Amino acid sequence: MTQCRDTRGIDKIYHIILGGFVCVVVGVLVAHFLPITPIGIAVVALSSVVVAAVAWEFYRKNKTNGNHICIWDILWTTAGGFAMVWLPWLNAYLLAVGH
C-alpha cells in the first residue's frame, strides 16, 4: 500500500464543504425526527460524516483503477463536519427548549 502524500489542494476544499454539508443535513433531520439531546445530535452528525467519508474513499478506490484510500481526504471531510457541528447542536437545543 502506498503512502498518501496528497495533503492539500482544491480537492480538500471540496472535502471540507461536503463534510459540513453532510453534518448539517443529517444533524438537522435527526434533530427534527428523533428526541435526542443536543450532544447526541452532534455525535450522530459527526459519526455520519466519518462514515460517509470512509465509504466514499472505499467506493472511489474500487471504482477507479490505481486509486487509493486517502486518509487526508477522510480527515479534511471530518474537519468540515467539526466546523459545522454547531448548527445541528443549536437546532437540537432550540427544539428542546421550545418543548
Q: Bigger pLDDT: 48 or 60?
A: 48
* Look-up of cell digits 471540496: 14
State the average pLDDT for the chain: 90
* Look-up of cell digits 461536503: 18
Q: What pTM was computed for the model?
A: 0.87
The confidence score (pLDDT) of residue 7 equals 66
Angle subtended by helix axes 38-63 and 10-33, to nearest 10? 140
pLDDT tens column, 14-53: 999 999 999 999 999 999 999 899 999 999 999 999 999 9
